[in-house]
Amino acid sequence: MTTENNIRWHQSLVNRADRAKQNKHKSVILWFTGLSGAGKSTLAHAVEGRLHALGCRTFVFDGDNVRHGLCSDLSFSAADRAENIRRIGEMSKLFIEAGTIALTAFISPFRADRAKVRALVDEGDFLEIYCHCTLEICEQRDVKGLYAKARQGLIKDFTGISSPYEAPETPELSLDTGALPLEECVEKVLELLKTHGVIA
């Protein structure tokens, strides 16, 4: 007998709409994607700071942090990258059901993986934010020296060097994080949330 035959979905007495009413804002997945060093985590945390000040319930899923726990068993192979994103997608789905604005900062280099996360949730629940920045600037920002190691062949499957990055074709928001000041990027994300009726 398979697992599917032994489990069933239990419907909560408190639903997402109830939580949105209590929170006074809607929930959504903000998916920040881009090369390492493009400013995804910096922007996600800055946006969270502004949203927290507005009284919103938020949580940032940061790529490095998640790999310390939930995805500590995964490598950076294409298959494990896909599994990493699948897990984050499922976790983010739970968080928006809980009424939280889920901000995710992951390279998530492959369009197919990002599309699978978008397909997990209803239309409008997944807002893709492309943090585009030249490889040169990303390497200049690389405080951990990962790009240098990748160019030396010490790190395999490194996005932008030995592994491809597939840029979003129709993101909800595209930000030139190599040229725009952080605060301006934050304002554009907040405007996106207002446009989609997540916050007032």
CA–CA distance, 49 with 167 (Å, rounded to integer): 27
Is 27 among the residues known to form the active site? no
Helices (H), the chain: 16-23, 40-53, 63-66, 78-97, 111-120, 135-140, 146-151, 182-195
3-state secondary structure of 90: helix
- Listed residue (114, 149, 148, 146) closest to 130, CA to CA: 114
Instruction: Check if the beta carbon of residue 164 is closer than 8 Å to that of residue 109.
Output: yes
CA–CA distance, 92 with 30 (Å, rounded to integer): 9
Choice among 36, 108, 162, 174 that is catalytic: 108
Instruction: Check if the beta carbon of residue 11 is closer than 8 Å to that of residue 91.
Output: no
Supply the residues annotated as catalytic.
Answer: 108
